C-alpha cells in the first residue's frame, strides 16, 4: 500500500534487490513510493533519492529506470540533475497536480502552489527537452468553484501534459474532506470531469503529433491483447513512456527493443513502422519463461500408464 506512515528502506537493500532482479533478466525497474522525493528523511540525507538514481545508473544490465510518485513540495534540482545525467533514467516525469487552483490545493492540504509546480516542469524541460510529463488530477473537490475548475484547465494548457489520469472526487468516509462543507453534486462533478477529459485529449493529441517523423526506442511489452493480435501489431513503451503500436513485421520478442519511426498519433498512443531490432537480456528471459510454460503444459498433458 502507498498509504500510511512512510518508512525508508536502506539504499543497500534496494540496490541488492535491483541487482537480484537484473540477474533474473529484468532490464527495467520502477522505484515506487508514496513520495519518493522524501526518501532519506529517516536517515537524514536530503539527497538520498538523487544518489539512489545515480547508483541505479551503475548497475550493469539495468537499461531503464523509472520512478513514481514525486511530490512537488520535495522536488529538488539535484533530482533533476540526476535524471538528466544518468543515462538509464528515462526522460519521463509523472508528478500529480491534483488541482490547478491554489485555493483548492490549500483545502487539500497540499503544501505547494501552481507556480512551484510549473517551475519544476520548466526546469525539467530545460534539463531534458525531450522529457514527457504526465500527471494526476481530481475534479469536484469540496468547495471547487467554476473559477477553480477553470484554473485547472488553464494549468493543463500551460503544462502541456502528454497524459493526465483524471479522477472524480467522491466522499471517502473517515477523511477530512468527507465532512467539508460545499460538497459538489455528482452532476457537476461529472460535467467537469467530461470537460477536463476532452480538454486534455486535445492537448495530448497535439503533444503526440509532435512525434510524427521522429524515431523512438520501444521496449516491446508482454501485454498485447486481442485487438493487437487481430491487427497483427506489437505494442511497447518508448523511453519517455508513450505507448507505441507498430506492425508485427519485426522479429521482436517481449523485452526486446525496436527502433520505431512514428507515422501517426492519437491522444493515447503513437503508431509507427518498425526498424532495427535489438535483442536484450529481457527478451531472452521472456523466451526462457515461455519455453518453460510450454514444457510444463506438455508434461501435464502426457498420458499415464496404468499398472
- Express each pLDDT in 119-147 by its tens digit: 999 999 999 999 999 999 999 999 999 99
Confidence category of residue 225, pLDDT binned at 50, 70, 90: very low
Q: Considering the entire predicted model, what is its pTM? A: 0.90
**How much is the pLDDT for 251?**
84
CATH topology of domain 215-299: OB fold (Dihydrolipoamide Acetyltransferase, E2P) (2.40.50)
- Identical fold for domains 1-90 and 91-209, yes or no, is yes
**How much is the pLDDT for 5?**
75
* Domain assignments of the chain as residue spans, ordered by start: 1-90, 91-209, 215-299
What is the chain's Cα-based Rg? 22
Nearest one of 260, 287, 254, 259 to 273, comparing CA atoms: 260
CATH topology of domain 91-209: Transcription Regulator spoIIAA (3.30.750)
**How much is the pLDDT for 47?**
93
3-state secondary structure labels for all residues of 223-279:
CCCHHHHHCCEEEEEECCCCEEEEECCCCCCCCCEEEEEEEEECCCCEEEEEEEEEC
Q: Percent of the chain scored above 90 by pLDDT?
A: 82
Q: Which of 23-27, 123-127, 227-231, 290-294 has the lowest mean pLDDT?
A: 227-231
The domain over range 1-90 is classified in CATH as 3.30.750.210: yes
Nearest one of 54, 27, 96, 80 to 237, comparing CA atoms: 27
Amino acid at each position: 500500500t502507498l498509504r500510511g506512515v512512510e518508512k525508508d528502506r536502506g539504499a543497500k537493500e534496494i540496490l541488492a534487490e535491483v541487482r537480484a532482479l537484473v540477474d533474473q533478466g529484468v532490464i527495467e525497474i520502477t522505484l515506487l513510493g508514496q513520495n519518493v522525493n522524501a526518501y532519506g528523511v529517516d536517515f537524514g540525507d536530503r539527497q538520498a533519492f538523487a544518489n539512489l538514481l545515480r547508483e541505479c545508473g551503475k548497475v550493469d544490465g539495468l537499461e531503464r529506470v523509472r520512478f513514481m510518485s514525486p511530490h512537488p513540495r520535495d522536488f529538488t534540482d539535484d533530482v533533476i540533475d540526476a535524471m538528466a545525467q544518468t543515462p538509464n533514467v528515462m526522460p519521463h516525469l509523472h508528478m500529480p497536480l491534483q488541482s490547478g487552483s491554489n485555493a483548492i490545493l490549500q483545502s487539500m492540504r497540499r503544501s505547494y502552489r501552481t507556480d512551484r509546480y510549473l517551475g519544476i516542469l520548466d526546469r525539467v524541460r530545460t534539463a531534458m527537452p525531450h522529457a514527457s510529463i504526465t500527471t494526476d488530477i481530481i475534479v469536484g473537490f469540496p468547495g471547487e468553484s467554476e473559477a477553480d475548475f477553470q484554473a485547472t484547465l488553464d494549468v493543463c494548457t500551460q503544462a502541456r501534459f502528454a497524459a493526465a489520469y483524471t479522477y472524480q472526487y467522491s466522499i471517502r468516509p473517515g477523511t477530512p474532506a468527507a465532512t467539508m462543507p460545499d460538497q459538489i453534486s455528482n452532476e457537476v462533478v461529472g460535467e467537469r470531469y467530461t470537460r477536463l477529459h476532452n480538454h486534455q485529449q486535445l492537448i495530448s493529441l497535439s503533444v503526440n503529433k509532435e512525434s510524427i517523423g521522429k524515431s523512438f526506442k520501444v521496449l516491446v511489452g508482454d501485454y498485447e491483447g486481442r485487438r493487437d493480435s487481430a491487427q497483427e501489431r506489437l505494442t511497447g513503451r518508448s523511453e519517455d513512456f508513450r505507448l507505441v503500436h507498430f506492425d508485427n513485421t519485426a522479429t521482436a520478442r517481449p523485452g526486446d527493443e525496436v527502433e520505431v519511426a512514428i507515422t501517426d498519433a492519437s491522444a493515447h498512443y503513437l503508431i509507427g513502422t518498425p526498424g532495427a531490432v535489438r535483442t536484450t537480456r529481457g527478451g531472452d528471459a521472456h523466451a526462457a519463461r515461455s519455453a518453460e510454460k510450454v514444457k510444463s503444459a506438455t508434461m501435464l498433458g502426457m498420458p499415464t500408464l496404468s499398472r
